[in-house]
Structure 1
C-alpha cells in the first residue's frame, strides 16, 4: 500500500499512544525509518503488521481497530491533496457511493501500483442500500465499514452499516435510521 495509508496509521497511533508509542511500535515492527513517504509503495505485510500492533497496544480486536482506522483514513484523505477528489465524488451519500469506482480510477492515475477495490451500488431505497465491495485483499471489510460510516457522517446521513463476507469481498447493508432530536 502507498505511504499515505501509513501516514494515516501514524496519526491514529499518535492520537492514542503519543509520539513515543508510535516510535516503540515502529521498533517492534522492525521498521527503522520513522517517516513514510506518501507516494512510495510499501508491502501489505508492513501495513497489516502496523495495524495489528496498534490493535494489540490499544487492547482492541483487529476488526475494531480496522473500523476506527477507516474513519481516520477519511479525515486524513480529506485533509490531503486528495480532499478535492473526495469532494467531487458527490454532493450526497448515494451519489458518493455510485462514484467510488470513478474516484478510485482517478486516484490510480497518480498511484499506478495501487490495487484499488471495486464497488457496485446494487440497490437503493428510502430505507436501505446494498453495496458490493470487491478486493484482492482479504480482511479489510471492517476498514471499509469504518470508511462508509465516516462518509455517511460527512453527508449527515444516519445509518447502521453491517456486512456479510463474500468470496473476494463483502456485501454491505446500509440501513437508514430516523434521527429524532
Structure 2
C-alpha cells in the first residue's frame, strides 16, 4: 500500500491517542519507518501489522480500528489529499457511490502502481443500493464499512450499512446493502 495509507493510520492514532501510543503501536508492529512517504509503496503486511498492533495497544477490536480508520480516511485524509476530486465525484451519497469507479480511475492517474479495489452498484432504488466491493486484499470489509459511515457524514446523510455477502465467508466478493435518508446526519 502507498505510504499515505500508513500516514493516515498514524494521523488517526496521534490525533485521538497521542504520540506515545503511536510509538507503542509502531514498536509492537515492528515498524521502524520514521516518516512514511505518501507516494512510496510499502508492503501490505506493514499496514495489517499496524492495525493489529493498534487493536492490542488501544484495547479495541480490529473491527473498531478499521471502522474508525475508514471514517477518518474519508473525513480527513481524502478531504485533504483529494478534496476537489471528492467534490467532483458526486453531490449526494448515492451519486458518489455510483461514481466510485470514475473516482478510482482518477486516483490511479496520480498513483501509477496503485491496485485499487473495484466498486459497482446494483439494485439502485430511491433510498438504497447494493455496493459490490472487489479487492485482492483480504480483511478490509470493516474498513469499507467505515468509509461508508464517513461518506454518510460527509453528505449529512443517515446511512445504514449491512454486509449482505462476505468474501471471507465464501462469496465471490463483499456486497454491502446501503440505505440512507438524505439530510439527516448519521
**Normalization by structure 2: what TM-score?**
0.89
Instruction: Specify every segment of 5 or more residues in structure 1 that has no aligned partner in the other structure, as ranges.
Output: none
Query: In the alignment, what sits opposite 1:50?
Result: 50
SS at match of 1:109: helix
User: How many residue pairs end up in the alignment?
Assistant: 180
Query: In the alignment, what sits opposite 2:92?
Result: 92
In structure 2, what is the Cα distance between the partners aligned to 1:51 and 1:10? 10
What's the CA shift string for 1:115-154, capped at 9, x where partnerless? Answer: 1001111022234211111101111011011101111111
In structure 2, what is the Cα distance between the partners aligned to 1:146 and 1:39? 23
Instruction: Specify every segment of 5 or more residues in structure 2 that has no aligned partner in the other structure, as ranges.
Output: none
* 8 Å Cα contact 2:26-2:53 kept in structure 1: no
Q: Aligned-pair distance for 1:85?
A: 1.0
1:5 has 2:5 as partner = yes
1:50-69 paired onto structure 2 within 5 Å: 50-69=50-69
1:12-161 paired onto structure 2 within 5 Å: 12-161=12-161
SS at match of 2:166: strand
* 8 Å Cα contact 1:138-1:169 kept in structure 2: no
Point out the more displaced range, 25-34 or 51-60: 25-34
